[in-house]
Amino acid sequence: AYDYSDRIGRVEPSATLAISNLAAEKEAEGADIVDLSVGEPDFDTPENVVEAGKAALDAGHTGYTSSNGIPPLREAIAAKLRGDGIDATADEVVVTPGGKQALYETFQTLIDDGDEVVLLDPAWVSYEAMAKLAGGDLSRVDLAPHGFQLEPALDDLAEAVSDDTELLVVNSPSNPTGAVFSEAALEGVRDLAVEHDLAVISDEIYERIVYDADHVSLASLDGMADRTVTVNGFSKAYSMTGWRLGYLHATEAFVGQAGKLHSHSVSCATNFVQRAGVEALENTDESVEEMREAFADRRDLLVDLFDEHGVDVDVGDGAFYMMIPVDEDDADWCERAIEQASVACVPGGAFNAPGFARISYAASEERLREAVDRLVENDLL
Ligand code: PLP
């Protein structure tokens, strides 16, 4: 019989995937579900990127690549990061099958049993799971009382961080709140990181989807270059979720360590996908801008619709999520939403933020209107 590891017993399946699976099941049974639970853009991958992938297949790029990625992609990533003010070279990059793998490798590379990991709540579901799989203990700072912003919560963060802290995870723009942290907030993070000699993960996967704010890369701030692991991916910016492509950037020494895990687990990211990745980085500014504008319009539409129904939302300036406050237990509310109104949302509890439901607005304006109508008709708003 199987004798499961303690490690695997520490985690639960992804709550967001569980809801999307339930929505998909109901749809398969014929229900018309407005699925606002998914963390994936509803656009096609830009055509030139698809063509680059096909051309790479036709050219026979189907074998293993060097473990950390093909040189042109590592170079293109380093050039992109230099554009963000990070002094990056290709040797400091590991190309991974998705940003998730980059995060997983980072936790495994840095965290020992009992090491303290600080999360800013509401936090994306997988950080907790990855920290626990690595043996870490969690310390959490709640941004909900501060409108999901970090700057007014810096004192709370200072209290949570100590010399026992190994790692702090920052995700801006944030999933699930959409919050974009101010430069002053990131400077506050820097000051604490330097004072306590912390490593910081900066998960910047939504960085191309920002509205009335500027994205600042944490590793570009003085003092952060040799303590930040910058994680990014192609899923959200270029609507490439199923291609599975992402990366991490850190010091060359870090890459030497994480690269061991990478080579013994995934070997490398898919060859022809990496080649399409170069095209995505170099020739998609227009497509990215179109998607960004569509998300901005949808966000504004939702804010207006919620406002009409008296729901006051702390709206973020990035990503394609918002957290709406609910008057009852958030798991019950989300269950009623899907069972009675056929609208799928994720309970805030999944992000350690009870009392909210996460709405993803990666859906057409028509479907967003439909969702709000249904929630109103069923007394959920
Ligand atoms: N980080 C955050 C905050 C996310 O929301 C996601 C995806 O939902 C990821 C990382 C990982 O994305 P991927 O593995 O598709 O690159």
For ligand 1, whether the C-beta of 203 sits within 6 Å is yes
- Kindly state whether residues 125 and 209 are assigned to the same domain: yes
For ligand 1, whether the C-beta of 100 sits within 6 Å is yes
Domain annotation covers residue 55: no
Which numbered atom of ligand 1 lies nearest the CA of 246? 16
Which numbered atom of ligand 1 lies nearest the CA of 100? 14
The residue contributing the CA closest to ligand 1 atom 7 is 39
pLDDT of 370 above 90: yes
- Kindly state whether residues 244 and 290 are assigned to the same domain: no
Domain annotation covers residue 53: no
**How sure is the predictor about 14, in pLDDT bands with cuts at 50, 70 and 90?**
confident
Expressed in angstroms and rounded, the spacing between residue 178 Cα and the centre of ligand 1 is 13
Which numbered atom of ligand 1 lies nearest the CA of 319? 5
Tokens of 185: 């907030």
Domain-ending residue, one of 282, 313, 342? 282
pLDDT of 343 above 90: yes
For ligand 1, whether the C-beta of 348 sits within 6 Å is no
Tokens of 337: 């939403």
CATH code assigned at 181: 3.40.640.10
DSSP structure class, residue 348: G
Looking at every residue in the chain, the average pLDDT score rounds to 96
- Kindly state whether residues 264 and 357 are assigned to the same domain: no
Q: Render pLDDT for 197-253 as a digit per residue (tens, 0 to 9).
A: 999 999 999 999 999 999 999 999 999 999 999 999 999 999 999 999 999 999 999
Expressed in angstroms and rounded, the spacing between residue 102 Cα and the centre of ligand 1 is 10
* Number of neighbouring beta carbons within 10 Å of residue 63: 8
- Kindly state whether residues 41 and 67 are assigned to the same domain: no
What is the best residue among 101, 126, 169 to mutate for testing ligand 1's pocket, by most ligand atoms within 8 Å of CB?
A: 126
Q: Render pLDDT for 188-213 as a digit per residue (tens, 0 to 9).
A: 999 999 999 999 999 999 999 999 99
3 state DSSP class of 169: strand
pLDDT of 59 above 90: yes
Expressed in angstroms and rounded, the spacing between residue 99 Cα and the centre of ligand 1 is 6
- Kindly state whether residues 125 and 34 are assigned to the same domain: no
Expressed in angstroms and rounded, the spacing between residue 309 Cα and the centre of ligand 1 is 31
**How sure is the predictor about 12, in pLDDT bands with cuts at 50, 70 and 90?**
confident
**How sure is the predictor about 360, in pLDDT bands with cuts at 50, 70 and 90?**
very high
**How sure is the predictor about 20, in pLDDT bands with cuts at 50, 70 and 90?**
confident
Please check whether residue 371 is in contact with residue 36, taking contact to mean a CB–CB distance below 8 angstroms: yes
Domain annotation covers residue 51: no
Tokens of 303: 């804010």
Domain annotation covers residue 221: yes
Number of domains in the chain: 2
Residue 199: its pLDDT value, please?
A: 98
For ligand 1, whether the C-beta of 176 sits within 6 Å is no
Which numbered atom of ligand 1 lies nearest the CA of 99? 16
Residue 122: its pLDDT value, please?
A: 98
pLDDT of 8 above 90: yes
The mean pLDDT value for 102-106 works out to 98
- Kindly state whether residues 91 and 20 are assigned to the same domain: no
Domain annotation covers residue 52: no
- Kindly state whether residues 301 and 250 are assigned to the same domain: no
- Kindly state whether residues 87 and 224 are assigned to the same domain: yes
Domain annotation covers residue 24: yes
CATH code assigned at 320: 3.90.1150.10
- Kindly state whether residues 154 and 40 are assigned to the same domain: no
ipTM: 0.99
Counting residues of the chain whose pLDDT is more than 90, the rounded percentage is 96
The mean pLDDT value for 329-340 works out to 94
Expressed in angstroms and rounded, the spacing between residue 205 Cα and the centre of ligand 1 is 6
- Kindly state whether residues 18 and 161 are assigned to the same domain: no
For ligand 1, whether the C-beta of 124 sits within 6 Å is yes
Task: Name the residue range of residue 115's domain.
Answer: 63-282
Please check whether residue 91 is in contact with residue 256, taking contact to mean a CB–CB distance below 8 angstroms: no
Domain-ending residue, one of 264, 282, 300? 282
For ligand 1, whether the C-beta of 235 sits within 6 Å is yes
For ligand 1, whether the C-beta of 241 sits within 6 Å is yes
Domain annotation covers residue 366: yes
Domain-ending residue, one of 256, 282, 308? 282
Which numbered atom of ligand 1 lies nearest the CA of 234? 16
- Kindly state whether residues 203 and 341 are assigned to the same domain: no
For ligand 1, whether the C-beta of 39 sits within 6 Å is yes
pLDDT of 13 above 90: no
Residue 21: its pLDDT value, please?
A: 86
The span from the CA of 232 to the CA of 289, in Å, is 18
Domain annotation covers residue 56: no
- Kindly state whether residues 124 and 186 are assigned to the same domain: yes
* Number of neighbouring beta carbons within 10 Å of residue 216: 22
Residue 135: its pLDDT value, please?
A: 97
Q: Render pLDDT for 111-162 as a digit per residue (tens, 0 to 9).
A: 999 999 999 999 999 999 999 999 999 999 999 999 999 999 999 999 999 8
Q: Render pLDDT for 26-57 as a digit per residue (tens, 0 to 9).
A: 999 999 999 999 889 999 999 999 999 999 99
Amino acid at 207: E
3 state DSSP class of 166: strand
